[in-house]
Amino acid sequence: MPSASASSPPAVLLLLLLFLLAAGCAAAAANETQRFRPGAELRRYRRVQALLRRLNKPALRTIQAPLSAPLCLLACLQSPDGDLIDCVAAHLQPAFDHPRLRGQRPLEEPPARPKPRGHRRRPNDTADAGVQLWAASGVSCPEGSVPIRRVTEADVLRASSVRRFGRAPSARVRRDTVAGGHEHAVGYVAGDEYYGAKASINVWAPTVSTASEFSLSQIWVIAGSFGDDLNTIEAGWQVSPQLYGDGAPRFFTYWTTDAYQTTGCYNLLCSGFIQTNTRIAMGAAISPTSAYNAGQFDISLLVWKDPNHGNWWLEFGSGELVGYWPSLLFSHLASHASMVQFGGEVVNTRASGSHTATQMGSGHFAGEGFGRASYFRNLEVVDWDNSLVPLAAGFHVTADHPNCYDIQGGVNAVWGNYFYYGGPGRNVRCT
Q: Please name which of 371, 361, 360 lies closest in space to residue 293, comparing C-alpha atoms.
A: 371
Amino acid, single-letter form, for residue 88: V
What is the C-alpha to C-alpha distance for residues 288 and 48, in angstroms, rounded to an integer? 33
Q: How many angstroms separate the CA atoms of 326 and 216, rounded?
A: 24
Q: Please, what sign has the CA dihedral across residues 20, 26, 30, 33?
A: positive
Beta pairing partners, 304: 196, 313
Q: Cβ distance 375 to 419 under 8 Å?
A: yes
Residue of 221, 371, 199, 187 whose CA lies nearest to 299: 199
- Give the residue among 241, 217, 225 at the shortest CA–CA distance from 154: 241
Q: How far apart are CA 295 and CA 287, in angstroms?
A: 12
Can you give the three-state secondary structure of 129-196, one letter per residue? CCEEHHHCCCCCCCCCEEEEECCCHHHHHHCCCCCCCCCCCCCCCCCCCCCCCEEEEEEEEEEEEECE
**Beta-carbon contacts of residue 100 (< 8 Å; ≥ 6 apart):** 326, 328
**Which distant-in-sequence residues (6+ apart) come within 8 Å of 49 by Cβ?**
153
Max alpha carbon distance in the chain (Å)?
110
| DSSP secondary structure of 61-92 | EEEEPPPS-TT--TT--S-TT--EEEEEEGGG
Contact between residue 193 and residue 185 where contact means Cβ atoms under 8 Å apart = no
Active site residues: 234, 345
**Nearest of 236, 174, 168 to residue 206 by alpha carbon:** 236
Q: Which of 234, 206, 199 is nearest to 418 (CA)?
A: 199
Phi, psi torsion values for 316, nearest 5 degrees? -120, 125
